[in-house]
Amino acid sequence: GQQLNQSPQSMFIQEGEDVSMNCTSSSIFNTWLWYKQDPGEGPVLLIALYKAGELTSNGRLTAQFGITRKDSFLNISASIPSDVGIYFCAGQRTSGTYKYIFGTGTRLKVLA
Amino acid sequence: EAEVAQSPRYKITEKSQAVAFWCDPISGHATLYWYRQILGQGPELLVQFQDESVVDDSQLPKDRFSAERLKGVDSTLKIQPAELGDSAMYLCASSHPPSEAFFGQGTRLTVV
């Protein structure tokens, strides 16, 4: 099945550092979502974006809906150990079936 | 806080046996999704329901997988017969489109 490209694939950072990751697609989406998944658990929604150019924050997390509507970015400021996990983007076309297509994931490890 | 409920959390089954998973979406969510997530990858859509109707099952292996949502509320995903390659996390999500999807905790299936 189709999956969106996420980069980087994995990151090892020091506690307190900022983190940036992105998600790209060959198709246009009308909605971008960012999820965090802990081992053995389901994905938890972090941020939802609905308009091109939109910048939305949730605590230390900030996400942006790319102008081209083919990409999205997630930044985490001042990382802490509990930020460890896998971050997934998901794009949705608001036509047809409202299907969500997920990215390949970015695995984040935070070193204390 | 409303949640998507899934059961069981874990299932071990022998190959060629039948296995079933259950999902109860957030109340009022008309759209229900079943995703399969192989370790190290993003979730991939198996089947999507709008109320009781299937709107996308293009990636569902229909020779062995079946899904139903008879009353447009809870849903069951069945595999018969299970194969070793079916070992994965099976995730259920629900949404009130076109808004964001919320996931359950998933069912971890191991086929031996």
Kindly report the nearest CA distance between residue B18 and chain A, in angstroms. 23
Residue B82 is predicted with a pLDDT of 98
Residues from chain B contacting residue A43 (CB–CB below 8 Å): 43, 91, 103
Neighbours of A52 (CB within 10 A): 16
pLDDT given for residue A42 in this prediction: 96
Give percent of chain A with pLDDT exceeding 90: 88
- pLDDT tens per residue, range A55-85: 999 999 999 999 999 999 999 999 999 999 9
What pLDDT sits at residue A3? 83
Per-residue pLDDT band for A1 (boundaries 50, 70, 90) equals low
pLDDT in tens, A27-63: 899 999 999 999 999 999 999 999 999 999 999 999 9
Contact A8, A74 (CB under 8 A): no
pLDDT of residue A107: 97
Characterize the bridge pairing of strands A106-111 and A10-14.
Answer: parallel
**Strand runs (DSSP E) across chain B, as ranges?**
5-7, 10-13, 19-24, 31-37, 44-50, 53-56, 65-68, 75-79, 88-95, 102-103, 107-111
For residue A97, what pLDDT is reported?
A: 75
pLDDT digits (tens, 9 = 90+) for A77-106: 999 999 999 999 999 976 777 789 999 999
pLDDT at B1: 67
In this structure, are strands B75-79 and A10-14 parallel, antiparallel, or unpaired? unpaired
Residues 30-59 of B with CB under 8 A from A: 31, 33, 35, 40-45, 48, 50, 55-56, 59
What is the structure's pLDDT at B97?
A: 72
Q: Which two tokens stand for residue A80?
A: 């802490």
Q: Which residues of chain B have pLDDT under 50?
A: none
